[in-house]
């Protein structure tokens, strides 16, 4: 099977590309290397998977998309503008990357591929500010949903996406997701969307805007100050990258059965953690740097965790790497990279 991974030098894309190559897929990566850390992952891929084709190109350029997505059996679309803060500063660029870039790939899939699998990495931000309207309870180290419909269960795919407040990032990712699912309905593409929560693991060079868990671990080991926006009790469900690549493999295998579907993908309630709880875990491993607190940022969700029941029912998938094991793996990977 011929596979194109867009954004394949990013954290998720690089892990997926390497995994699928080991499984015998013919893998091509398309990345514009706009992020400095993508070059580090490129070096990793070239060293460990020299047979993978790595192409510099931009999905906003239709001819580039056509050249490298043409005749592929599967397109795994990870390339994106990924930060809410960036979308607020430059909404046009956010729109062009996330909407136009996705549209270009879909047009190539429609015109120049034979009913390919199209896996789109979406976001939980498609639910907009609706998540913040759910009543919360404040506990010692975290918030949680107070509403029994969601407490201990999480947000299902049936949760409303109809809200006035999304941020440009939420809008662009949701619009692109709708295009993916609509092309699946009308043009025979076997498309699906993964509405992802907090993914983490090896090859992730996080920062304040994206990849917070890796950002905290890296900052702790390098003794760089950490800024917490809010009070640190905000909660996410974290998902280790090995479980993400296993999900993608299952989706390729079952694409005929799950075309048009959207999945809420995260660690689920069992793998929830707050910022304060993560710092406590890191404190047991290393001396923490200075911790600063600042005001809440626009569109911050105090609580978000995914109801992953649908992925379990349709794919037989659930996380295998728990948060304790996953944080340990990330910690030692960061230490191996930055303590050289």
Q: Active-site positions?
A: 169
C-alpha of 267 from chain center: 12
> Which residues are CB-neighbours of 261 under 8 A, at least 6 positions away?
192, 193, 310, 314
The CA distance from 31 to 35, in Å, is: 10
CB 115 within 8 A of CB 52: no
Can you tell me whether residue 225 is helix, strand or coil?
coil
Can you tell me whether residue 74 is helix, strand or coil?
strand
In this structure, the strands spanning 190-196 and 226-229 are: unpaired
Contacts 24+ apart (CB under 8 A), 323-326: 323/238, 323/267, 323/270, 323/271, 323/272, 323/273, 325/240, 326/200, 326/201, 326/238, 326/240, 326/271
SS (H, E, C) 23-50: CCCEEEEEECCCCHHHHHHHHHHHHHCC
Distances from the Cα of 100 to the Cα of 62, 95, 162, 338, angstroms: 9, 7, 22, 36
CB 303 within 8 A of CB 131: yes
The CA distance from 338 to 79, in Å, is: 26
The CA distance from 178 to 261, in Å, is: 11
Distances from the Cα of 178 to the Cα of 13, 18, 96, 141, 151, angstroms: 21, 28, 16, 37, 28
Distances from the Cα of 39 to the Cα of 35, 44, 232, 311, angstroms: 8, 9, 32, 33
């Amino acid at each position: 099977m011929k596979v194109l991974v867009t954004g394949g030098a990013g954290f998720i894309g690089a892990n997926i590309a390497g995994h699928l190559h080991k499984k015998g897929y013919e893998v091509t990566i398309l990345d514009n290397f706009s992020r400095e850390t993508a070059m580090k992952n490129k070096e990793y891929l070239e060293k460990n998977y020299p047979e993978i084709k790595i192409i510099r190109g931009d999905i906003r350029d239709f001819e580039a998309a056509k050249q490298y997505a043409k005749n592929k059996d599967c397109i795994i679309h990870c390339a994106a503008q990924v930060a809410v803060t960036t979308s607020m500063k430059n909404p046009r660029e956010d729109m062009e990357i996330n909407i136009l870039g996705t549209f270009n790939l879909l047009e190539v899939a429609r015109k120049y591929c034979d009913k390919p699998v199209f896996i789109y990495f979406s976001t939980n931000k498609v639910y907009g500010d609706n998540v913040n309207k759910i009543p919360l309870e404040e506990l010692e180290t975290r918030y949680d949903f107070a509403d029994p419909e969601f407490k201990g269960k999480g947000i299902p795919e049936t949760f409303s996406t109809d809200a006035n407040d999304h941020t440009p990032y939420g809008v662009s990712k949701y619009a692109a997701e709708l295009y993916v699912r609509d092309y699946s309905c009308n043009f025979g593409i076997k498309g699906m969307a993964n509405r992802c929560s907090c993914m983490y693991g090896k090859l992730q060079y996080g920062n304040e805007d994206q990849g917070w868990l890796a950002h905290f671990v890296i900052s702790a080991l390098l003794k760089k100050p950490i800024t917490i926006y809010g009070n640190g009790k905000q909660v996410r469900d974290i998902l280790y990258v090995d479980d993400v690549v296993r999900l993608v493999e299952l989706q390729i295998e079952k694409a005929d059965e799950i075309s048009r579907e959207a999945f809420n993908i995260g660690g689920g309630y069992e793998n929830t953690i707050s910022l304060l709880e993560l710092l406590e875990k890191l404190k047991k491993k290393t001396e923490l740097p200075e911790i600063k607190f600042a005001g809440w940022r626009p569109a911050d969700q105090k609580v978000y965790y995914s109801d992953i029941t649908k992925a379990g029912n349709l794919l037989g998938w659930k996380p295998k790497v728990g948060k304790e094991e996953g944080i340990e793996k990330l910690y030692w990977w960061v230490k191996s990279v930055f303590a050289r």
